[in-house]
Chain A
């Protein structure tokens, strides 16, 4: 059934239907509506979960880690400063192979303080071993939670996952969303059956310390699991499509890429604007296309290479910056295209909530065609003076 809902509420509803047994979260703008909605559901007995009102994000993820190790399905949500505070626990959760699912309502990182959207927060955790999905709209933001649990808990994966969607732009926006029913979700997402758990009937030790003789092999196995999750993502995404009509089998989405000359590469809600801009450019006879990256970890290098090999220029829109280097998406795309000769230009854009309109997308395409890139787009010179 189609419903007009706020993004946060749609996500909270999806999470409810995933039946997490333990929720631990700490409020932070613009994530708050999700955790408030979940608290209300627990208070009204619409969600049968232990809700731990932790004193910090650091404890939120630590509590989820503990509950997951004890064999429960768990959930948390955060953003920006909260995610930064979880940094140490994020690496630990992945290293311990615990399938925690967490919503990241993407927001800029201070300083300067900003509550507005970009993707610096989750990008900063790209090396942590968490799977990372980026939603374009609220429909996808809700659906990806079901998919994320399926993939994370799969025995071949056993890794935590971020479901990322843009703060305010999606979280606080009302859009029509087709919500699944509880029965549908139960059919898609089986009850959580942990492979290992803390259990006195079968005592195991988790989180030992590894000498140089073992550490590398542990990291290798985690890397293999992250890479190997791509196959599971494809399966889970395809099955979602077969059951509910929205297919998430591919880690990327190609939009008007067939005969594209200039390809835009981006993640998240900015892709909606890019698609509209591309439609207009197409009417003007300009062959622009979009490659949207839905799964950033594992990075779909193969799909990216396939989609971009024929184009004459690639313009990457990065809502993040690895200070002193480039945007993270551009670095990945360049790496994927290494040796192909396709020029990849980077545009740091839409940081800290700066709005992006269709005209901006068009001017990026113009700049890329002229070979001008690797820059912060739209700098306000008067502020810099």
Chain B
């Protein structure tokens, strides 16, 4: 690299243009610094960053399997403790690795209280295998295994509440963040690293390829998710919500209509009933987390 400052997450990897996961990876390492060991799960980020013999990681990095990154991190954390080493351990997984197949290992590692940070970059489906639904896929999103059709409006279930599940394990720090606000994401990762014990950060990471939007719109889409209340950015300390990003809410439609995965709600004809159901999800989020900024008349 000439002229530019070298990032701990190198450019030249194979992510799609506009990939939020790649942006998340760089931001995570910017926040964490050199003394960090990263454990990746199988998925887009792992594949696009390490096609042998190349690697984008300028910190020690290991990938073992799809569903065991928290168990591998447990072992690393124990080994560092025994060796008297001070490096931080970060496990990174997609939503499939975290919400679904790796849940057993994740739960075990959090219950045991290892000192590590788990970061889920949430692109709301199994992207690496071709956009199949996961436990993090939102209601009505059309994926290759939850396709919209004559008798389907897409994914039939709402998103699993993984942050709450991990907070219920007694995690001292749980946060959600988004690539829409990188300084906030960085701050949360720092805080997670500085907190002793198992901490969780879930990063909303729009995927242009899987969601169906132009690659230059990644940040705009990520913002809309926050502004519509479909994604809430918050922090939980010792089980209590301590900080929430407030917004002047926009209707969910503004977010939905920008993405191919929700196109069936608008074409060939508008499905008001389903759009109303998604609006209700945003309304519930808004109430639960008190995100609404009430404008004074």
Contacts and interface: CB of A to CB of B under 8 A. Distances in A.
Interface string B76-93: 111111110001000000
Contacts of B78: 22, 24, 50, 52, 63, 67, 72
Classify chain A's interface size: 35 or more
A325 interface: no
A78 to B, nearest CB: 14
B79 A50 contact: yes
A204 B79 CA distance: 17
Contacts of A204: 60-61
B15 interface: no
B83 A71 contact: yes
Contact of A54 (B52, B87, B108): B108
Given A62-B72, A200-B34, A211-B52, A71 B60 contact: no
Contacts of B81: 50
B158 interface: no
B50 interface: yes
A139 interface: no
Interface stretch (B35-43, B170-178, B207-215, B273-281): B35-43
B71 A69 contact: no
Contacts of A127: none
Interface in A23-66: 24, 49-50, 52-56, 58-59, 62-66
A92 B82 contact: no
B153 interface: no
Contact of B68 (A59, A198, A208): A59
A203 B59 CA distance: 5
Nearest to A60: B71
A69 B82 contact: no
Interface in A63-120: 63-72, 74, 88-89, 92, 96
Interface string A195-225: 0001110011111111100100000000000
A203 B58 contact: yes
B72 A200 contact: no
A209 B52 CA distance: 6
Contact of A62 (B47, B71, B87, B112): B71
B63 A72 contact: no
A124 B98 CA distance: 29
B75 interface: yes
B25 to A, nearest CB: 13
Contacts of B31: none
A200 B29 CA distance: 13
Given A50-B79, A50-B81, A198 B62 contact: yes
A67 B60 contact: no
A207 B62 CA distance: 6
Given A58-B105, A59-B104, A72-B82, A208 B53 contact: yes
Given A62-B75, A74-B75, A207-B63, A200 B36 contact: yes
A201 to B, nearest CB: 9
Contacts of A71: 79, 83
Contacts of A52: 74-75, 78, 112
B244 to A, nearest CB: 32
A21 interface: yes
Nearest to A196: B60
A88 B72 contact: no
Contacts of B75: 22, 24, 52, 62-70, 74
Given A70-B37, A198-B60, A50 B52 contact: no
B68 A89 contact: yes
A96 B57 CA distance: 18
Contact of A70 (B55, B64, B76): B76
Nearest to B60: A198
A67 to B, nearest CB: 4
Closest 7 CB pairs of A and B: A66-B75, A55-B108, A62-B71, A63-B75, A66-B72, A67-B75, A59-B71
Given A53-B112, A211-B52, 18 more contacts: A24-B78, A54-B108, A59-B68, A59-B74, A62-B64, A63-B71, A63-B78, A65-B64, A66-B77, A66-B79, A67-B75, A69-B76, A203-B61, A206-B61, A208-B50, A208-B51, A208-B53, A214-B53
Interface of A: 21-22, 24, 49-50, 52-56, 58-59, 62-72, 74, 88-89, 92, 96, 198-200, 203-211, 214
26 contacts: A21-B79, A22-B82, A24-B78, A55-B105, A55-B108, A55-B111, A59-B104, A62-B68, A62-B71, A63-B71, A64-B75, A65-B75, A66-B62, A66-B71, A69-B62, A70-B76, A89-B65, A92-B65, A96-B64, A198-B60, A199-B87, A205-B50, A205-B62, A208-B50, A208-B63, A209-B51
